[in-house]
Structure 1
Amino acid sequence: MSYRFTKASLLTGTIMAGAMIASPALAQADDQDNEPATQPGVQAEEVAPIVVTGSRIARRNVETAAPIAVIQDEEFKLSGTVNVENVVNTLPQVVPGFTSNSNNPGTGTATLNLRGLGSARTLVLVNDRRWMFYDTSQVVDLNTIPSFLLDSVDVVTGGASAVYGSDALAGVVNFNLRQVDGIEMGGQYSITERGDGARYEVHGAIGTSFDDGRGSATVFAEYFNRDSIFQGDRAFSNFALGGESFGAPQQQFGSSTLPNGVIRYFGDGDRTGTDFAANNAVVFDDVAGDFRTRTGDTYNYAPVNYLQIPQERYLIGGYADYDIGGGHTFYTEVAFVNNRVAQELAATPVTGSFTVNLDTIQPFLDAGDFAQLQQLNATETDGDPDNITLFLQRRTIETGARNSLDERNAFRVLGGISGPIGDYLSYDAYYMYARTRNANIQDGNISRSAFQAGLDGTADPINIFGLGTLTPAMVDQISIRAQNGDVSTLENAVATVSGTFGDFAIGADSEPVAFAVGAEYRGVASQFIPDTALASGDVIGFNAGNPTEGSYNVKELFAELNVPIEFGSARLEFTGAARYSDYSLENVGGVWTYAGGVEFSPIPDVTLRGQYQRAVRAPNVGELFGGQSIGFPGATDPCGTAAATAGSALGNICVANGVPVANLGNPAIQLNAQIPALFGGNPNLEEETGDSWTAGIVLQPSFLPGLAITADYFDIEIANAITTISLQNSFDLCFNQVQDPNAAACGAFFGNGSIRNAAGAITTANPPVLGGQNVATLGVSGVDLQATYSTTIPFSLMTDTGEQDFNLSFLGTWTESSFFEPFAGADIVECAGQFGITCGEPTPSFKWTARASFIDGPLTTSIRWRHLSAVDDDDDSVDYAAFNGSERIPAYDLLDLTFSAEATENVTVTVGVNNIFDTLPQTPTFNGIEVSSVNNGTLLGDNQEQANTYPSTYDVLGRDFFVSALLKF
């Protein structure tokens, strides 16, 4: 049993010039570690409390029971990254979602998939608050976050719904933006060694304080442009490879839909003596109207597909705060993004059965070939002398490539106020509104109805019988521009009170017990608006789509508690959190999430920590309200089988479903082999639930200053996960296994009213709804290891001290398990160390990023090492290696080098090269001729994602250069 499910790789992180990158437990200066707790009466300004990702309690001790990895802003500068995705997707905790290399599949967005559990299960925050999402799946597009303003990025492992609400099943990623003091202007230019794929960015920001420091404001703007690269621009992706799945050697495989046209005949006419006799298929040669028996001809669609999708982005915004008196501060955030991203595919492949009028097409065919069609038609039993049904395949290269252009306009506004309540408490309340409007224009589509009309004589004839036979007038006649749009909105209001119970503490030397309580409201709404052509399914080229519209809201109460206990040099800390959420969704209703953690430091050098969290994710708008359309999949109704007897468990649930007792086990209740079912959203979905366990250790040995090590074990399992399974599997799960009408697994048959007629047959009047179902289980476990070391070395070229700083960092993950059970009783799919048809993106057992930085006065030299361990193909049914394919992708390593220099006090210049050794997927070998390539990868055929590889996991650009400059005044 095989299921397509994308689980994949995981984390990376680093440390940069003059700054050590670690979890908050590691990011402190050494003199903070042994600092005594604040005593009663000490003013808060002396030791400012810190809010860390994963808690709403401000505290002086910034260690946390939850594992947190932190990426500092230097990593974005030293890696030559403008888009957030390029750094985040190298984190060992992250499996690449959609990226700039995701053309097909892809959405023109950049998404974040933490732990490989799905982008919809990763909560993305900016400044500890929710950000705007882009479509009905309620997923954040990372292209909307300004990377040049990032101060740090926090990655929190495990469910965090008790603190932040729904969606945080895999964890939370928080992007912290910095305040600007003065004027900053900067820009960057990148280009590959092959002279293509240019990317350039310019930005500016102004920040200032005013009214004697009572207020501050930052405003910013950015422009970014990225050129396209086509698959034909790289040797490894220039040909569509495949064939192994059919037991043939890997070859230039391509598509069976050719530009010169293919005719297949499946009627009952006499094929004797015709070119159809061999295999029911003929293909046209370059001579128009002349066909021959088809013998394996294919079309190479690869070269005209994007390998890097083009992008143009405008981003403006700002944030400000002002003390209105008494420590009460009003703050606001505003952002607007205009993002244009294109995708491009080969010309439309028109396929399907069409009614062809012989008189209409006769002028376009060779006389002898036309006579063959006449023979087939004359000997058919349908009695129609004028028309014949043919299965046609024609790639309409005359229309040009298919191009999809997305233009997204998104804005977000937020206003809030915070301040003190007496001596021990403070409050924070804000309201946020975000809206994204996407306009999508598709060119290169063909209208199925116009194509049909040009063949059956009801419109001007079209000539599809040969290469280049469609005239401009014919192209205009059958072409159709399709458009669609979507609108997504998010409202979020949060009010929190936090502080301590006066000076109450457990132990004379302990900090006071701290808490936070609050309330939250969220309202989400989305709609997908296709034009008539897309909604009706008349479009050939891009996928048809049905309108989607829906919304829901949730009202929540939450609380957190922090209990520190200090005795001598030891420290013990307990944390707890709980949230009650009341959803407007009938099948979700009220749900609880909660968390509990403990930290223990027997000595300042060692901290042990552990945490358990229960998290939830409510279904998103697309899963709930996606436009529905009817289909007729083949399946066997269990209620018509011999096992359905009166009084049996199967018989009882069949009766509950509307089958008369007298008709139980009667095959006649199934009218035919194809049963009607609705496909699309499922309004009967319930929430997903996740359980996360983490346990770890933090080491900061006093005998070796500058060294910090953390190791954390994580185990995340999600039950009741939403997935789509076939009608037959749905039948088996509900009627043969669960046998409970009230169970989520039976929602397809009991949640849409009566689906059967009086005799017990499933009819088209009210068929079962086969959208997503709460039936899957998935999970991931492993160990994160982070180590940093900072020291000085006695050598310098740029300073008089004779010393320079030396920083090392390592962030890696061992993935113990990454599994997916599509529904109870199904085969469990294990994806750790695997890739391929079932698991999708490679999930290496080991993934890490390490960096070494030398800071010699104004000059920083930094080297980064990115590593993925080898992965094996997950498909046991095909031995790809036996057919010149790949059963294994070997271990993969990339080295990057960066130089950064402070040219003056106000000017910093950075230059670098990524992928120093030009490591690319392997170049193919054909006809005994080996094409040399420097590589450390393996070229994939049938078990690829796109471009003969997995382009979001493995580098496809090659050696890549960048230069940037930053001016500060």
Structure 2
Amino acid sequence: MLAMPAAAYAQSTTGSTTTAAAAADEDAAIVVTGSLIRNPNLVSAAPVIVTTAETIQLRASNVAEEVLRDIPGVVPSIGSAVNNGNGGASYVDLRGIGSIRNIVLLDGNRIAPSGLAGRVDLNNIPLALVERVDSLTGAAVTTYGADAISGVVNFVTKQDFSGIDLQLGTSLTEQGDGQTVRADLTIGGNFDGGRGNAVLSVGYQKADPVYQGAREFSANNVDSFTGAAGGSGTAIPSRFTGVRPIDATTGLPSTNPAVANGNLQLDPTTGTARALFAPFNFNPANIFQTPFERFNMYAQAKYDVSDHLEVYARGLFSKNTVNTVIAASGVFGSPVTINLNNPYLPAGLRNQFCAANVGSTTAYQARFTPAQCAAAATATGPTDPNYRTVETALARRTTELGPRISEYTTTIFDYRAGVRGAITDSIDYDLSGGYGESENRQALQGYVLTSKARNTLLANNTTNCISSDPGCVPVNWFGPAGSISPAQAAYLTAESSTVIKTSLAQARALISGDIGIALPSATDAIGFAIGGEYRKYTASQRADSLAKTPGELGGAGGAAPDINGGYDVKEVYGELIAPLVQDKPFFENLTLEAGARYSDYKVDAPGNPSYDTFTWKAGGTWEMVQGFKVRGNYSRAVRAPNIGELFTPVTTGLTNLSVDPCAGANPVTNTALRTVCLAQGAPATSIGGIQQPTAGQANLTTGGNLNLQPETANTWTVGAVFQPSFAPGLAITADYYNITVKDAVSSPLPGDIVAACFGAPPYTSPNANSAACQAIGRNPASGGLDGDPSTTRGLFAVQSNLGRIQTDGLDVTAFYSRDIGFAKLGLTGNFNYTFSSTFNADVTSPTGFARECVGYYSVNCSFTGSIQPKWQSSLRTTLGFNTFDVSLLWRHIDKVQQEPLDAVEQDPLFGSFGRIPSYNYFDLTGRFTIVENIALILTVTNLGDKKPPLVGSSAGSTSFNSGNTYPSTYDALGRRYAAQINVRF
């Protein structure tokens, strides 16, 4: 008979989750996440949610991020459903306050991070050997480090494994795509009469892409605010700035002084630029499931040298490759120079360039006279006195080059070794050290090189460029799709690469146990732990000349500057757990917990910036009567700025912004608004013709700050555990949590930056002389906030300690198991209600405010992750029979709506796209015992094939709002079938 959930607080083997108490009660040898003290009677004052290995099997997932994403209270972070914005790694975001504010552990120890932010890549976790996953909120700062503000996620591997475990699995969507394959082999055994144990696990995992074009709801991009066809203004045919529109009466470029130079799209049929603006549909080339391939190895061993000395070691190696695929590259509003005798330049567009107004709004003056323009058209070259050029900004997709592909290959090794044993019968020691390195190599292909595009626009004929580059081939930028030949496309592109390396060296010493003395009112001895720790972090980023040159890679989102940084930290810490009263009326068990940690940080930078921090926690549990207890804890936490926040140079990249106050006709009649737009660098001829940021993406200039200080946080939880004797098999826990982060290392959100300068619509009183307005820099050619990062600063937001983050909520878990005669029934429920989650980017600013994002979505509510609903729950119901069991998982996501502040900024409100109803998903799993050692698991995910909600592709950040929906929160793949075979000996 297959194992079923045992009585309450026993660890389930059918995929349930339970509390830390269950782990402690089941096996006294387990060190519960959240404490360093071994105590068989320990019940942590901080709640811990435990996800078992069976849950992972029933989920049929390849990577840990997908498993954690289903836990209520965890906000989806970068993972397999993120395409544009995925750097080849997956992370977890506890409580929605940022993936940088939690710690990911393997068997209670840190492993080498991936990337400049110091986060652990979940793609490298060896799922096949994981026994359980502990998720702890709060009170972890003294145990695992001062930076565990929102908590820790601890992957606990199987210990003393003996035998052979082979797991083979595959899955496929109902539409026949997105196949995943998984094969893991684990071999372990005891040796030397049981004094030693060794285990080796090797694995291979692979996932195929799912393209947005393969789903009806995402095949065509939809604008979130109009409901019309959306997409990017960088399209085909090309778009040009500084062009006079065609007069409808004369058919010639307008000479009306009131008509501004436009940002117009070429009509290949007439050869003139008009206000066509057919958006480019970039959806079909984007993907909902990133292609993924991983090879991994994990080994661990231990050996009892004597009764008081055990040596142990473990090693991890993983190589994983993640591909992101996005729509074709191009030239994205970059300034270019075109000679008027260019062989591909249409006569009508040439005349528009010549007629461009260079005078004021009350006088008209063409750039060139008709005679000069005609002579320039037949000029023989730069030495010809009639030779003329014009400057414009070019926007054109190069679909002829294919999609932009970024291949991220991450290689990590991490090893740890140590000795541990007993000092006395009740006191143990543990000395260990470790070292790990991670390398993330990004290879880019399919990107247009802007410098080469500029070369190709200066040509006297179709064979030779005016450029000194001998390989230059003139390119027809003025034709329809397909007008760029293979030879021209080959010249325009080249592969580029960026490499990020990180390392972590660490050493740790710990003494723990009990002092052998109990208080007179208690029976158990007072437990303690004291220790010291040293960690050294380094990180670097190195890019080739193409990647580090601003604007060179068309559509790459900004330059990748060289970065080199590091810091080390020395820490001492201690914990105490003291049973105060036990086995007394109304005091079955009253226990106090306390801990403190002192940290000394040194930054590898000029002047050696340093800071000391002190963190502490206090908590306790009170079991009034058997089966009912209350618990609570309070902790002071800190987080030191990471290497990326400290050392990244100021660079220009991309952010999300749908509405630019200077776009459209408003600045023509609004004098104050016009003044600000001009002061920010918009040319006078662009007023009235400035376009909204293409594809909802504006430039953002930001960077690190060596003057940053650690952020501080107060976290506390209070809750109760109910295990009634009158209902055997039932256990219920309820815990309230509250986290407040002060001096948060952060930068303003796009909406904050715009509002600080322009205020609220209709933008009648912006001040061009204000610091907020002067910090914004516009495209000198188009006047917009997007374009070549070498010339367009866009919004400006450097890191500071001016932020404040607050969140609070309620976690409820319920467990029930019972023999109902014909089967064994198991129920496991996890529920989260988030009351609030606010972020204030600048508490010192008079315009600063705490932006509420629970239950809302918008560009500004994606500052840490995807959607965070108020209410989330998961309920698994399992029936166990003699040779099989069947399990149904119900996942509920509460309704959400457009952020009210964002709605105020939009005109009009985007109607039906402004809210998402509550969603319910059902997953069905059957597990069958074929023979004694072989089991078959069949899973159907999204049993009802429920389609995701449609909100368009400009309602939120590009990373999480893609394909007209939020694919990290809602299932964009549809019904999926999975099959697994487990062979165990």
2:578 is aligned with what amino acid?
V
Q: Deviations over 1:248-272 (max 9, x none)?
A: x301111112222222325899998
Give the partner amino acid of 1:547.
D
Query: Cα–Cα, structure 1 residues 133 and 274, in superposed 2: closer, same or farther, change >3 Å?
Result: farther
Matched, 1:713 2:691: no
Residue 535 of structure 1: CA displacement? 1.1
Is 1:789 the counterpart of 2:819? The answer is no
Q: Does 2:926 align with 1:908?
A: no
After TM superposition, list the pairs within 5 Å mapping 1:405-484 onto structure 2: 405-457=407-459, 458-459=466-467, 460-467=473-480, 468-484=482-498
Q: Which residue of 2 aligns with 1:4?
A: none
1:283 match? 265
1:805 is aligned to 2:830? no
Residues 31-46 of structure 1: matches in 2 within 5 Å?
none
Give 1:364's aligned residue: 344
Q: Secondary structure at the match of 2:21?
A: coil
Matched with 1:274 is 252
Q: For residue 831 of structure 1, what is the aligned residue in structure 2?
A: 853
In structure 2, which of residues 499, 513, 518 is the aligned counterpart of residue 505 of structure 1?
518
Name the counterpart of 2:979.
Answer: 963
Matches within 5 A, 1:52-451: 52-179=32-159, 180-242=161-223, 244=225, 249-265=226-242, 273-274=251-252, 280-285=262-267, 290-361=271-342, 363-376=343-356, 379-380=366-367, 386-451=388-453
1:942 equivalenced with 2:954 (yes/no):
yes
SS at 1:110's partner residue? coil
CA distance in 2, matches of 1:731, 1:398: 36
The worse-fitting range, judged by mean Cα deviation, of 682-691 and 579-588 is 579-588
1:553 counterpart (555, 561, 568): 568
Change in 2 beyond 3 A, CA 1:603/1:880:
farther
In the superposition, relative to structure 1, how do residues 276 and 161 fare at CA in structure 2: closer, same or farther (>3 Å)? farther
Give CA-to-partner distance per residue, 1:574-616, whole Å, 9 cap, x none: 0100000011135551110000001111111111111001111
**One of 884, 902, 924 as aligned partner of 1:897:** 924
Give secondary structure in 2 for the equivalent of 1:242.
Answer: coil
- Cα deviations by residue, 1:382-416 (Å, 9 ceiling, x for unpaired): 99960111221110111111100011111101101
Aligned to 1:621: 643
In structure 2, runs of 5+ residues without a counterpart are: 1-8, 358-364, 373-385, 460-465, 468-472, 656-677, 683-699, 757-770, 776-794
Give 1:601's aligned residue.
Answer: 623
> In structure 1, what is the Cα distance between the partners aligned to 2:619 and 2:932?
46
Instruction: Verify the 8 A CA contact 2:242 2:353 in the aligned structure 1.
Output: no
TM-score by length of 1: 0.82
Q: 1:942 Cα shift?
A: 2.8
**Does the 8 Å contact 2:522/2:579 carry over to 1?**
no
Q: Mean alpha-carbon deviation: is it higher for 311-320 or for 343-352?
A: 343-352
Task: Measure how far apart 1:858 and its partner are.
Answer: 2.2
Q: Between 325-334 and 48-57, report the one with greater CA deviation.
A: 48-57
Deviations 1:77-98 (A, max 9, x none): 1122221111110101200001
Aligned residue for 1:638? none
Three-state SS of the structure 1 residue aligned to 2:972 is: coil
Q: Percent identity?
A: 32
Aligned pair count reads: 843
| Corresponding residue SS for 1:252 | coil
Aligned partner of 2:591 in structure 1 is: 573
Q: 1:20 to 1:510 in 2, by over 3 A?
A: farther
Q: Is the 8 A contact 1:776 1:822 kept in 2?
A: yes
Question: Is 1:871 equivalent to 2:896 in the alignment?
Answer: yes
Residue-by-residue CA offset, 1:893-942 (whole Å, 9 max, x unaligned): 00010000121111011001010000112xxxxxxxxxxxxxxx344343
Indicate the residue corresponding to 1:535 in structure 2: 548
The structural deviation recorded for 1:369 is: 4.2
- Residue by residue, what CA displacement relative to the aligned partner does 1:634-686 show, whole Å, maximum 9, x if unpaired? xxxxxxxxxxxxxxxxxxxxxxxxxxxxxxxxxxxxx98689x9842111110
Per-residue deviation, residues 673-727 of structure 1 (Å, max 9, x unmatched): 689x984211111001111111000011111111001000100011110112399
Q: Which residue of 2 aligns with 1:929?
A: none
Alignment match of 2:886 (pick from 845, 858, 861): 861
Conserved 8 A contact 1:157-1:171: yes
Q: Does 1:820 align with 2:836?
A: no
Gaps of 5+ in 1: 1-12, 33-46, 634-670, 734-744, 750-767, 796-803, 922-936
Deviates more, 1:883-892 or 1:163-172: 883-892
Shift of 1:128: 0.7
* 2:745 is equivalent to residue 722 of structure 1: yes
Over 3 Å counting, the alpha-carbon distance change for 1:857 and 1:17 in structure 2 is farther
Question: Matches of 2:575 and 2:323 in 1, distance apart?
Answer: 45
CA 1:355 to 1:784, structure 2 compared with 1: closer, same or farther past 3 Å?
Answer: closer
1:489 aligns to what?
503
- For residues 18 and 323 of structure 2, the distance between their equivalents in structure 1, rounded to whole angstroms, comes to 37
User: Do the aligned residues in 1 keep the contact of 2:633 with 2:716 (CA within 8 Å)?
Assistant: yes
Kept in 2, the 8 Å contact 1:275–1:282? The answer is no
Cα distance change on mapping 1:941 and 1:186 into 2, 3 Å: closer
Distance in structure 2 (CA, Å) of the matches to 1:854 and 1:681: 54
Indicate if the aligned counterparts of 1:348 and 1:540 stay in contact, CA closer than 8 A: yes
Q: Secondary structure at the match of 1:120?
A: helix
Q: Aligned in 2, Cα 1:895/1:275: closer, same or farther, shift over 3 Å?
A: farther
Shift of the alpha carbon at 1:541? 2.5
**Deviation sequence 1:769-826 (CA, Å, 0-9, x none):** 963101100011011000100110111xxxxxxxx21100110111111111111141
Aligned partner letter, 1:845 = K
Offset, 1:621? 0.5
Amino acid paired to 1:552: Y
Residue identity matched to 2:136: V
- The amino acid across from 2:430 in the alignment is D
Which of 540, 553, 563 is residue 578 of structure 2 equivalent to? 563
CA RMSD of aligned residues (A): 3.1
1:257–1:351 Cα contact (<8 Å) kept: yes
Say which SS state the counterpart of residue 876 (structure 1) adopts.
Answer: helix
Assess, with a 3 A threshold, how the Cα gap between structure 1 residues 341 and 772 changes in structure 2: closer, same or farther. Answer: same
Query: What SS does the aligned partner of 1:74 have?
Result: helix
| Aligned-residue offset at 1:323 | 0.6
Please state how far the C-alpha of 1:480 moved relative to its aligned partner: 2.5
CA contact (8 A) 1:897 1:912 kept: yes
CA distance in structure 2 between the partners assigned to 1:673 and 1:354 by the alignment: 17
Are residues 354 and 815 of structure 1, via their aligned partners in 2, closer, same or farther at CA, if it must alter by over 3 Å? Answer: closer
CA 1:357 to 1:284, structure 2 compared with 1: closer, same or farther past 3 Å?
closer
CA distance in structure 1 between the aligned counterparts of 2:965 and 2:246, rounded to whole angstroms? 44
Q: How far 1:354 sits from its partner (Å)?
A: 3.4
Secondary structure of 1:839 counterpart: helix
| Shift, 1:273, TM fit | 4.7
CA distance 1:159–1:238, change in 2 (3 Å): farther
The answer as to whether partners of 1:885 and 1:940 remain within 8 angstroms in 2 is no
For 1:369 and 1:580, the matched residues in 2 are separated by 69
Q: Following the alignment from structure 2 to structure 1, what is the Cα–Cα distance between the partners of residues 485 and 652? A: 37
Letter in 1 for 2:633: Q
Change (3 A) 1:102 1:549: same
Change (3 A) 1:260 1:294: same
The alpha-carbon deviation at position 293 of structure 1 amounts to: 1.6
Structure 1 counterpart of 2:761: none
